[in-house]
Amino acid sequence: MNPWKPPPSRSPGRVTCASVNAEDPDFIRTARASYDALATDYAAHVPDGLATRPVDRALVTAFADLVRANGTAPVADLGCGTGHVTARLHELGVPVFGVDLSPRMVALARRTYLELRFHVGTMTALDLPPETLGGIAALHSVVHVPREHLPALFQEFHRVLVPGGHALLAFGTGDDDHLHMAERFGHEIALDHHWHSTATVGSLLEGAGLHLVARTLLEPEGNGKRQRAVLLARKPAKED
């Protein structure tokens, strides 16, 4: 049995997840090792962004409304980290599970949100049958994906979404530039951030067959220097 496929007795929202693949590309393996090293301090120092950002919450709420209107297929929160967004989607009445490449992040999420499901896996190779998900949330997780891997990533999103399903992406913007982090919270890491332009991401989503519905730019907060982009895309319904 495919480990993501629910048995016939389960509801459409009950899916499970396979583990990470030993043959994952270098950027996946280094990100996993970095977040494993950071997990405990990350959870202690990085707050729930939705708790203090009403505009972000409104966008996530709109995404949940669109998912529910299209059916009962579940949402995957990809790059779920410690589970804040997964929990918010659950509160909004969406069947949802979280996926993260870091086993330690997943362990923290499971301890924090006992009633929710979190799995170790990677968004670049979802062990899911086609047309399984009603929605994909990827909030600030695609920044770890190099530009040359985005087309395949978005094709994977298209494959697993049901017709009419939506994908919500958030990311720091830039002219497709790159930042390498060798240390955070006193830990030695090797974490790469790829700052994509909205034009690049929007074009690649369209190229994968995911049509843009909305494009929002949020101004930098506090001492931040980068705008944050939120893109909502939709896989066409069969009757479109």
Digit-by-digit pLDDT tens for the chain (240 residues) are 233 333 232 333 344 444 455 567 888 999 999 989 888 888 887 777 787 889 999 999 999 999 999 999 999 999 999 999 999 999 999 999 999 999 999 999 999 999 999 999 999 999 899 999 999 999 999 999 999 999 999 999 999 999 999 999 999 998 877 888 777 778 788 788 899 999 999 999 999 999 999 999 999 887 778 899 999 999 999 877
Residue 86's alpha-carbon distances to 8, 22, 118, 172, 225, in angstroms, are: 25, 26, 9, 20, 27
| pLDDT in the model for residue 21 | 59
| pLDDT in the model for residue 24 | 75
Q: Which residues pair with 100 in a beta bridge?
A: 120
Q: Which residues pair with 173 in a beta bridge?
A: 196
| pLDDT in the model for residue 13 | 39
| pLDDT in the model for residue 46 | 77
Distance of alpha carbon 98 from alpha carbon 100, whole angstroms: 7
| pLDDT in the model for residue 11 | 36
Q: Are 216 and 224 in contact (CB under 8 A)?
A: no
Specify the amino acid at residue 145. Answer: V
Q: Are 80 and 112 in contact (CB under 8 A)?
A: no
CA nearest 145: which of 29, 28, 13? 28
Domains of the chain listed by start with CATH number: 26-234 (3.40.50.150)
> Cα angle vertex 134, ends 110, 230, to 5°?
80
| pLDDT in the model for residue 144 | 92
Torsion region of 229: left, alpha or beta (phi above 0 gives left; psi -120 to 50 gives alpha): beta
| pLDDT in the model for residue 189 | 80
* Half-sphere exposure in the Cβ direction for 197 (13 Å, CA): 6
